[in-house]
Structure 1
Amino acid sequence: MPILPTHWGNLPPLFARERLHPAAIAQADRMLAEAGGKSEGKWCVAFSGGADSLALLLTVWTLWPERRSELCVLHFNHRLRGAESEADAVFCAEVCGEMGVEFHIGEWSDAKAGASEAEAREARLAFFETEMEAVGSRVLWTGHQKDDVAETLLMRIARGSGSAGLAAPRPVQTRADGRILLRPLLTLRKAEIVAALQKAGVTWREDASNAVGDFFRNRVRRDVMPPWRAAAGNDALGGAALTRELLDEDDAALNVWLAELLPEGGYDGDALDVRALEGKPRALWRRALRRWRPLAALGRAGFEEVLALCARGSGRTSAGEGVVEIGAGILRYMEKGGVGRGGWTEARLSVGTVLFLPDGGVLTMRVVAFTAELRRRIFAGQVDMAREAFLAEEPAAFCVRPWRTGDRYRPLGAPGSAALQDLFVNRKIPAARRGQLPVVIGEDGRILWVPGFPPAEESKTTSDSVTGLHLTYETGTCTVRL
């Protein structure tokens, strides 16, 4: 049974060019003009069989008839909905067969029940990239529309995204590898797309899983969007689309400003000259640091600490598997020493430094005055030795590392030093936990503190102590309690 009541070649456009996003249309026209009417390579179109992607395919088909022989339709079967997924694939193949366009299908070979939305998207995009490479295409059309803009905005606000993330999905997205994603339907509401298909007598596939709250986007679409739009009392989707456009403009402006201050090729090394950023808004610093290769994969907490370090203008802090320091306007990244127990390496701890350990633990040090009340609390044993220690030591840069075979430690009150391994055993600290505990080493090589034990006997607070150091330790993801 044909999907359209008329031949594909006689189908009028579903939407006039003026109703589509001008940036996407202009980019397509520009590519054709630059190539003398023949865009280099094929145009790939992502096609799920749903209303949006079918409307997209018909839009490209009708507005650029000269490109019909160079279209390549891509369908990815996630294999998450059983027979329904198979029916989607059959439908897409039939559509492309009637249109006479090239059709490529892929399947998620290792799909598993309960797969996350991110995993499914990653598998789908990997298929698109493979097929585009195979056919020599650098252009991919996708069917995102105005409802998707609002959903994405709400989802990313919940995750704490900045302007770059909140400006997605963009009408034209140029990737680092030179591929271009075009989204001409961003100016249209889902309801408008469905109405246009119905008017044309076109059938499409419905994904019943969209009504189930398994994925975050589905929950936002089902549970958040309807009351949000009703509460707004106006065109909330239009407002969200405008917000996306304005954020995109701001994001582009910040990128241009940053490019004027720092050279594009300066982010790949272990040193970054940030003198040009002095006195500039924090947003530019954040953007530059995110582009710097050593910090590209750094978690949010560690990244914020590096940003705070830059605001101070001097010092150093732990950054993942290395250390970042700043001085004279130059940021430097240094790998830590050889890998030790627990999968981490040496770092330096100084006053004001915050060390983020590989298991998510946090170690800090600050100067403290030994007031009468503080001395009373220390002498009374009212100190949680798993979380803090007071040392009668002068400020210095201490080494922090995992324990090593042969380490000896004399905790407060002990008659002499003992093997740290024996102390772990006596305290019944699990072997897996030992390698995650930071061992603080003084400049003379003595162990000053290990969380879970009192501080070193030689560093104890006395009635004559005036100032010293306060070390604090917060456990990370490890669930073992001392």
Structure 2
Amino acid sequence: MNLLEQVERRIKEHKLLAQGDAVVVAVSGGPDSVALLHILFLLSERHDWKLAAAHVNHQFRGEESDSEAVFVANLAQKWGIPCEVAKIDVPAYIEQTSLNAQTAAREKRYEFLHAVARQYSAKSIALAHHADDQAETILMRLIRGTGPSGLTGMQELRQEKKVELIRPFLRIYKSDIEQHCLQYGLSFCRDSSNELRKYFRNQIRLDVMPLLRSYNDQLPESLNRLAEMMQAEDDYMESAARQFFTEQVTIESRGVLFSRQPFARLHVALQRRLIKLILDYLASGVEKIDFTRVELLRNAILQEQTSNLKLDINEHFCLVREYDSIRFQASQTAVGAYAYPIVLEDAELRIPEAGMKLIIKECGSKEMTVDVFPVSTPLDSEAFFDLDQLELPLVVRSRAAGDRMQPYGLNGTKKVKDMFIDAKIPPSQRDAIPLIVDAKGQVLWIPGLRHSKHAPVHTETMHVLHMKLIPY
């Protein structure tokens, strides 16, 4: 089977292109991209593909770069293929961004390729990476350090910015590509920078791979098999992690929430995968999350000694553990101390720190029956007091160090802090919870938690203060 047939079969079996697709072909002018453009050109009549060539002059090599741009434009014209050429000052971009040369060139190149895809309404961008490139990529990642996902290498088909990046040559070796060029008499350019050992990939290709092949002549094939196997296993692991995410993770306005116990029952490999999935969901592309960071987060979730903690992930996000609840959320400024006087003549008082408002009503006891305003149950959002027994003025404020309360039905006092702990109120919420306090500093009511024994309503009460806390 010749290369033309191999590529056509691969495109069909893996659905890289469909009948009538518009596709942008990235053409550097080297043998790989020239062969790719040629093969797609030969197949385009049969499959009704609308091709457009795209070339970037990175301005790294002066006249050599300029001549490559002219070569690609002429080649496309010869085959009747529209061609877009961009001249981009990548050295200036490197100076501006401090990126390394290869990263900067890639960023500007892909930016241009996507622009051309939009211009031609193309569904796909075809890239000429081949099996030897894939083997080099796997080896580079092994040397630098990578996880299972990194060992999948480059993808034959990947979605990026609503366009599919396809690599029809990814299972084809360079020797077969060069043979195709020889067979059809295709001319191409040689990039002199491919011989410069200042680039890591060139060191791998020119020095490391030949050395390692002295131990295993089939090393490129072995590395490509590894990538193919890891791709299948990575797909399975990703699917399992996404299933847990769908079933167990709640998406909130500032982040995500899940329970610790189901997470703890997962296999360690899925725990790591889920953490990476969550971080990618929250901040895709913000920062590369390494193994050490993932392990730090995983151990913080699993440890038994501490029920509540906060761990910064980076300057944007943090992990908050509160009892069985685990939150990955955007970092936020802590709620500051607040205090608002309660004016009985007002109908309501807004408490922005709590996102609540206090409804205030003064009435006579004859307007109500005693059994509708007993001392509040712990979960009540409203409370009733004998107004004549209260020490006025009242204040609604956040908790303060040393706060104590005389809860109704209990002897003595209890620390407000301990009451929050007993009720398992998450630490991140405690500073926002409003306390109703009298002029002597006695805590009268913690809405939704406890009511004090002060100023209870009884049969002889003449004036009732009714307060209700509701969201606004």
Displacement of 1:334 after TM fit? 5.1
Equivalent in the alignment of 2:331:
335
- Give the counterpart of 2:144 among 149, 154, 159: 159
- Cα distance in 2 for partners of 1:181, 1:169 equals 10
Deviations 1:85-117 (A, max 9, x none): 011101101110100011011121343489521
Equivalent in the alignment of 1:325:
320
Equivalent in the alignment of 1:282:
268
SS in structure 2 opposite 1:249?
Answer: helix
Q: In structure 2, what residue type is equivalent to 1:291?
A: L
Displacement of 1:166 after TM fit? 1.8
- Cα distance in 2 for partners of 1:166, 1:119 equals 24
Q: In structure 2, what residue type is equivalent to 1:15?
A: L
| Percent identity between the two aligned chains | 24
In structure 2, do the counterparts of structure 1 residues 25 and 162 end up closer, same or farther at CA, with 3 Å as the change threshold?
farther
Equivalent in the alignment of 1:145:
130
Equivalent in the alignment of 1:180:
164
In structure 2, do the counterparts of structure 1 residues 267 and 137 end up closer, same or farther at CA, with 3 Å as the change threshold?
farther
| Preserved CA contact (<8 Å) 1:47 1:57 | yes
Deviations 1:415-466 (A, max 9, x none): xxxxxxxxxxxxxxxxxxxxxxxxxxxxxxxxxxxxxxxxxxxxxxxxxxxx
In structure 2, do the counterparts of structure 1 residues 289 and 295 end up closer, same or farther at CA, with 3 Å as the change threshold?
farther
Displacement of 1:165 after TM fit? 2.1
Q: In structure 1, what residue type is equivalent to 2:257?
A: L
Equivalent in the alignment of 2:296:
305
Equivalent in the alignment of 1:216:
200
Equivalent in the alignment of 1:15:
3
- Cα distance in 2 for partners of 1:21, 1:101 equals 19
SS in structure 2 opposite 1:325?
Answer: strand
* TM-score, normalised via structure 2 length: 0.62
Unaligned runs of 5+ in 1: 1-12, 339-482
Report 1:400-419 matches (<5 A).
none
Equivalent in the alignment of 2:116:
131
| Preserved CA contact (<8 Å) 1:20 1:187 | no
In structure 2, do the counterparts of structure 1 residues 98 and 271 end up closer, same or farther at CA, with 3 Å as the change threshold?
same
| Preserved CA contact (<8 Å) 2:90 2:108 | no
| Preserved CA contact (<8 Å) 1:72 1:102 | yes
In structure 2, do the counterparts of structure 1 residues 266 and 92 end up closer, same or farther at CA, with 3 Å as the change threshold?
farther
- Greater Rg over alpha carbons, structure: 2
Asked if 1:202 is matched to 2:186, the reply is yes
In structure 2, do the counterparts of structure 1 residues 317 and 21 end up closer, same or farther at CA, with 3 Å as the change threshold?
farther
- Cα distance in 1 for partners of 2:77, 2:153 equals 33
* TM-score, normalised via structure 1 length: 0.60
In structure 2, do the counterparts of structure 1 residues 154 and 68 end up closer, same or farther at CA, with 3 Å as the change threshold?
same
Q: In structure 2, what residue type is equivalent to 1:328?
A: D
- Cα distance in 2 for partners of 1:77, 1:274 equals 52
| Preserved CA contact (<8 Å) 1:325 1:332 | yes
| Preserved CA contact (<8 Å) 1:78 1:107 | yes
Equivalent in the alignment of 1:362:
none
Deviations 1:282-337 (A, max 9, x none): 22222222232446535534443212212326433222225312231422435243
Asked if 1:242 is matched to 2:238, the reply is no
Equivalent in the alignment of 1:316:
310
**How many residues matched?**
316
Q: In structure 2, what residue type is equivalent to 1:319?
A: I
| Preserved CA contact (<8 Å) 1:68 1:101 | no
Unaligned runs of 5+ in 2: 335-472
Q: In structure 2, what residue type is equivalent to 1:45?
A: V
In structure 2, do the counterparts of structure 1 residues 88 and 288 end up closer, same or farther at CA, with 3 Å as the change threshold?
same
Asked if 1:227 is matched to 2:211, the reply is yes
- Cα distance in 1 for partners of 2:136, 2:30 equals 18
SS in structure 2 opposite 1:227?
Answer: helix
Deviations 1:35-76 (A, max 9, x none): xx423xx21111001011111111211223245661011111
